[in-house]
Chains A and B, each alone.
Chain A
Amino acid sequence: MISPTLFITIALYLAGLSYFLGALIYALPLPFPSLKQWGPTMMKDAIYVTVWVMIYNIVLSVADSILNLLGVNWTNFLTGLQNQTIELGVINFVLNFLGGGGLKSVSNFLSGGTTTTFITTISVSPSSSQVFSVTPFSKLQLVGEFIKDTGIVNIFASIVQDLFLFYLSVYILSVLIYNGTPLFITFGIFLMSLPFRIGRSIGATFIGTSLAFYIGLPLMSAFDSLIASAIYGAYTPPLAIIGQYIVEYLVARIAYIVLLAAIAGGLSRAIGETAEELPFKIQRYI
């Protein structure tokens, strides 16, 4: 069973292994400085990992108390995000239905699928006569076709679809971070405890990323309000409402997540001196 306790235990044993491997290398009677310098390095790393094993619970509760101090709450954040995602999904469905000529098929269905075709000849003007093939055409069908032709529904549908997919991926990421932070941090400690610094940078990245996102993601609404106050500032072209909507809910949120990723990189570098690429790339889903 994979659990934080398991990772912590393994990490502690591995730290011991690293320490004694380091001591062994330190004591080896071999004249290779490049090998010998692993000795103190690995002993120091093992002590560092042991410190992390001791403080990881404290780090988690410090993160929680920072969230408390900032007045944000994971439960509220997740509930709000879930509701918004569901709303966007419904709007997405309706817009796709309208844009795909859904009204037409509904009216076909309601009229019982009658497809009797009759041909009438209407003299249009004295000079020419045109032949129309006329099917029973309801007003609903015409409206549906008109909506499809204006293109407005299709464009809004594609915007809403982007928003929906983005919110869905942010929601999944949030659930992952909220439920998995203890596991990710202990897994990071486990990776950092591998001998010869094999997993040091990726372990630090795991710890840094999950901590930065654990504190940063619920603060998204605060960033939203900052951007909103900037966007409704001194001068605003009144026509750019669609663009404002896209920028406020898509571009600004992507920017926020990119910023969080940069902070995660900085935190990882503070923890492990070097950092890898992020384990999950939210911005690639956009």
Chain B
Amino acid sequence: MFGLASSLLSLITSIMSALSSIAQQALNQETTLLLTIALYLAGLSYFLGALIYALPLPFPSLKQWGPTMMKDAIYVTVWVMIYNIVLSVADSILNLLGVSWSSYLQTVDSELGSLLEVYGYIIFLLVLTFIPKFIVHNPQLVARGGWAGIIIYIASFIINLALKLEHTRPVLASLATQTLSLFVFESVIASVSIIIYNGAPLLIVMGVLLMALPFRIGRNAGAMLIATTLVYYIGIPAMPLVLNKIEEAIIFGTPSTYLTALQSLEIDPFIFVPSAGPILNILSFEFVNLQLAYFFALSGFVFGLADMIAGSTGEEIIKVDEYYKHKSGGNEEEEEEED
């Protein structure tokens, strides 16, 4: 089963790598195209502004659009020029902090792998608990002749094992749900990170394009997009740098420590089942609560940066906590079940 899963994963990986080479080219082309459109739109804004400035109409509220739009167009042109520099400044800030995207993504990848492995082990235990039930409810299989002695012997052995596991079936079910929901949450975070990592130039150029729209139509939206991308581009890989210190100080271990501990317990189900619950609770605190707190802190930076770029802010664009808000209801139920 694990062999099949790993071959499936390697197949998916090879498909992804084939897709990524195509996607990367498309991404570069789209970025260049959007940049060109942004430059043209800035030109349009500039000349519209000049036209309005020159209009022989006595409406100050209309005329004041002239200098505003000309200034905006120049500002956008500056952004078109410096967007590459801004990205390399962000990269050098990451270098100064001593963090890198590849190591962060590898950490997330290994965490996701460990979570999936723990989930697979819990499912394996669940299957074990179901085998004796199956045999008990199909006694004709045991009673059938020939290999009867051996079969009954093995069945009784499994039943014997299962009699202890059978009582833990609700606990196992709740552990499975908890592990899987942690996995889903972490993979959402991972996918948001991947979008930011791969799409940072594209998203910044989209923000510049929105800012280039005439009459300040997309100024807030563009500034929020640029600010979100920049802050997350620097903030997400720096997350372990901040959170690991807090985790080591408060709860004496990073997620990887606890995941390794959980995996080392997998030798003995009779130790694993009672101790996995508390460890999973600590892990869900680290994965969900602390990461959401970190993203909340990042959104503060986003508002500040958007204010700096456009002089005003809009609404938060990437809403990780919004997604998790009603998912936490499921976890509370499970904790009640465990009690």
Which residues on the B side are within 8 Å of A87 (C-beta)? none
Q: Is B212 part of the binding interface, using a Cβ–Cβ cutoff of 8 Å?
A: no
Q: Which of A132, A146, A228, A283 has the most CB of B within 10 A?
A: A146
B191 touches A231 (CB 8 A): yes
A-side contacts of B172, CB under 8 Å: 149
Q: Which of A212-271 contact B (CB under 8 A)?
A: 212, 226-244, 246-248, 250-252, 254-255, 258-259, 261-263, 265-267, 269-270
B123: Cβ under 8 A from any A Cβ: yes
Cα A260 to Cα B334 with chains together (Å): 38
Tell me whether B133 and A263 are in contact (CB under 8 A): no
Chain B, 281-339, CB within 8 A of any chain A CB: 314-320, 322-323, 327, 330
Residues on the B chain within 8 Å of A227, using CB: 195, 199
Q: With an 8 A cutoff between CB atoms, is A80 at the interface?
A: no
How far, in whole Å, are A229 and B219 apart by their CA atoms in the complex? Answer: 25
Note all chain A residues with C-beta closer than 8 A to B320: 251
Q: A240-B187, A243-B184, A270-B217 are in contact. Are A233 and B112 (CB under 8 A)?
A: no
Instruction: Pick from A159, A228, A262, A273 the residue with the most CB of B within 10 Å.
Output: A262
Question: Does residue B52 face the partner (Cβ distance < 8 Å to A)?
Answer: no
Minimum Cβ distance to chain B for residue A253 (Å)? 11
Q: Given that A152-B180, A229-B27 are contacting pairs, would A251 and B188 also be in contact in the complex, using a CB cutoff of 8 Å?
A: yes
Which of these binds chain A: B8-16, B84-92, B235-243, B245-253? Answer: B8-16
Q: Which residues of A contact B102 (CB under 8 A)?
A: 235
A9 to B213, CA, bound (A): 32
* Chain A contacts with B in 120-151, Cβ cutoff 8 A: 120, 122, 124-125, 130, 132, 134, 136-137, 139, 142, 145-146, 148-151
Q: How far is the CB of B182 from chain A (nearest CB, A)?
A: 10
Per the 8 Å Cβ criterion, residues 237-271 of B in contact with A are none
Number of A-B contacts (CB under 8 A): 216
A230 pairs with B27, CB closer than 8 A: yes
Chain B window 93-116, contacts with chain A (Cβ cutoff 8 Å), 1 for yes, 0 for no: 000000001100100110011001
The residue in chain B whose Cβ has the minimal distance to the Cβ of A268 is B217
B224's nearest neighbour on chain A, judged by CB, is A262
Known pairs A238-B16, A247-B192; A229 contacts B184 (CB<8 A) = no
- Interface mask (B33-70 → A, CB under 8 Å = 1, otherwise 0): 00000000000000000000000000101000000000
Give the number of chain A interface residues (Cβ < 8 Å).
64
Known interface pairs A149-B172, A151-B176, A243-B184. Does A259 touch B160 (Cβ–Cβ under 8 Å)?
A: no
Q: Say yes or no: is B20 at the interface (Cβ < 8 Å to chain A).
A: yes
Q: How far is the CA of A251 from the CA of B203 in the complex (A)?
A: 15
Q: Which of B109-168 contact A (CB under 8 A)?
A: 109, 112-113, 116, 123, 126-127, 130, 133-134, 136-137, 139, 156, 159-160, 163
User: Is residue B82 within 8 Å, beta carbon to beta carbon, of the partner chain?
Assistant: no
Query: From residue B11, how far is it (CB to closest CB) to chain A in Å?
Result: 9
Q: Given A149-B172, A262-B221, A286-B322, do A134 and B187 touch, yes or no (CB 8 Å)?
A: no
Q: A239, B199: Cβ atoms under 8 Å? A: no
Beyond A254-B322, A266-B218, A286-B323, whether A122 also contacts B136 by CB under 8 A is yes
| Interchain CA distance A240-B23 in the complex, whole Å | 18
Q: How far is the CA of A248 from the CA of B190 in the complex (A)?
A: 12
Partner of B24, one of A228, A234, A259: A234
Closest Cβ–Cβ distance, residue A142 to chain B (whole Å): 6
Q: Is the interface of A mostly helix, strand, loop or mixed?
A: helix
B113 proximity list for chain A (CB < 8 A): 239
Q: Say yes or no for A62: interface residue by CB 8 A criterion.
A: no
Interface residues of B, count at CB 8 A: 81
The answer to whether A73 has its CB under 8 Å from any CB of chain B is no
Is A158 interfacial (CB 8 A cutoff)?
A: yes
Cβ contact within 8 Å between B195 and A125: no
Query: In the bound complex, do residue B318 and residue A251 qualify as a contact, i.e. CB atoms below 8 Å apart?
Result: yes
Contact, CB under 8 Å: A251 / B109: no
Answer yes or no: A105 CB below 8 A from chain B CBs: no
Docked CA distance A6–B134 (Å): 72
Name 26 A/B residue pairs within 8 A (Cβ), A-sorted: A124-B159, A125-B160, A134-B137, A137-B137, A146-B127, A150-B173, A151-B177, A159-B184, A226-B202, A227-B199, A232-B19, A233-B194, A237-B112, A237-B194, A238-B12, A238-B13, A238-B16, A239-B112, A243-B187, A244-B187, A258-B314, A259-B221, A262-B221, A265-B220, A266-B213, A266-B215
Can you name 14 extra interface pairs (CB under 8 A) apart from A149-B172, A158-B330?
Answer: A212-B217, A226-B199, A229-B26, A233-B197, A237-B112, A237-B190, A237-B194, A238-B109, A242-B183, A251-B323, A254-B322, A255-B318, A267-B215, A283-B319
Where the two chains meet, the residues of A that have a C-beta atom closer than 8 Å to any C-beta of B are 44, 120, 122, 124-125, 130, 132, 134, 136-137, 139, 142, 145-146, 148-152, 154-155, 158-159, 212, 226-244, 246-248, 250-252, 254-255, 258-259, 261-263, 265-267, 269-270, 273, 283, 286
Residues of B near any A CB (own CB < 8 A):
9-10, 12-13, 16, 19-20, 23-24, 26-27, 30, 59, 61, 101-102, 105, 108-109, 112-113, 116, 123, 126-127, 130, 133-134, 136-137, 139, 156, 159-160, 163, 169, 172-173, 176-177, 180-181, 183-184, 186-192, 194-195, 197-199, 202-203, 206, 210, 213, 215-221, 224-225, 314-320, 322-323, 327, 330
Q: Which 5 A-B pairs have the closest CB atoms?
A: A243-B187, A233-B198, A230-B199, A151-B177, A262-B221
